[in-house]
Amino acid sequence: MENEFRVGDIVKSLSGHDKNRLFIVTTIDKNGFIGIIDGKYRKRDYPKLKNPKHLLLVGHDDSIVERISQPTSTDTEIHKMIKVYKNVKE
């Protein structure tokens, strides 16, 4: 089964020490693992590779795709985007 994740998706971790935290998808490697960042614990330069079965798609925002594709976006901005998305959804 092909995963349905795209760069810029907001995902929730379902397992591991990061369980129930929100992340942004930044990469999808050829083996199907998903690179995720949160701007606080997982920085832009060192995304966490996670098995897609351990992730839940929460949403997608095209403005996030635009921001993370810019090399000038910072980890602080990424963390704020996740916080804003979380507050809007609650």
The model's pTM is 0.89
What are the structure tokens assigned to 53, written together?
């079965």
The sign one gets for the Cα dihedral 66, 31, 50, 1 is positive
Beta-sheet strand order (sheet of 34-37): 48-50, 34-37, 22-28, 9-13, 55-60
What is the set of domains in the chain, with CATH numbers? 9-89 (2.30.30)
- Provide the residue-wise pLDDT of the chain in tens; the chain has 90 residues: 455 899 999 999 999 999 999 999 999 999 989 999 999 999 999 999 999 999 999 998 888 888 888 888 899 999 999 998 888 766
Q: Which residues contact 58 (CB under 8 A, 6 or more apart)?
A: 9, 10, 11, 12, 22, 89
- In this structure, the number of other CB atoms found within 10 A of the CB of residue 88 comes to 9
